[in-house]
């Protein structure tokens, strides 16, 4: 089964949506498999009182995601996603979800190999 990839978006529409540079406080996620959008999820973790990072990471696990593309991952998200074995890819600012996905496919996005602790 092909891998599912999540992309943080600031508009809950489709692959033409602009990326949300944040992960924990992203407006929502597009989950893509084989280039097709499986789900468009609102980020429920935004309601969390202490650091939305872990909540958002749990959401990734629930959605069965293997890779996440975002602008930056904070310490709680970073730690949780690492434990879950979900790969974090970093996209530069200003891309649409489609552009980010394309770059990821070509291996052009940097993998977050660091554990961000603060």
Listed ranges 4-12, 34-42, 67-75, 97-105: which one lies at the site for other proteins (CB under 8 A): 67-75
The answer to whether 113 contacts other proteins (rule: CB under 8 A) is yes
CB 29, CB 63: distance < 8 Å: yes
The answer to whether 117 contacts other proteins (rule: CB under 8 A) is yes
Rounded distance between C-alpha atoms, residue 118 and residue 37, angstroms: 33
The answer to whether 63 contacts other proteins (rule: CB under 8 A) is no
Distance from CA of residue 114 to its chain's centroid? 16
The answer to whether 70 contacts other proteins (rule: CB under 8 A) is no
Measuring CA to CA, which residue among 26, 30, 24 is closest to residue 4? 30
User: Which chain residues interact with other proteins by CB under 8 A?
Assistant: 21, 48-51, 71-72, 74-75, 79, 82-83, 93, 112-118
């Amino acid at each position: 089964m092909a891998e599912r990839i999540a992309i943080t978006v600031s508009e809950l529409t489709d692959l033409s949506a602009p990326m949300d540079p944040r992960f924990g406080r992203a407006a929502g996620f597009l989950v893509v498999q084989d280039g097709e959008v499986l789900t468009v999820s609102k980020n429920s973790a935004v309601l969390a009182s202490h650091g939305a990072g872990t909540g958002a990471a749990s959401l990734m696990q629930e959605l069965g995601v293997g890779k996440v593309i975002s602008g930056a991952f904070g310490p709680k998200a970073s730690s949780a996603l690492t434990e879950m074995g979900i790969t974090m890819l970093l996209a530069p600012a200003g891309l649409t979800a489609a552009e980010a996905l394309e770059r990821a496919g070509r291996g052009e996005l940097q993998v977050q190999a660091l554990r961000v602790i603060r």
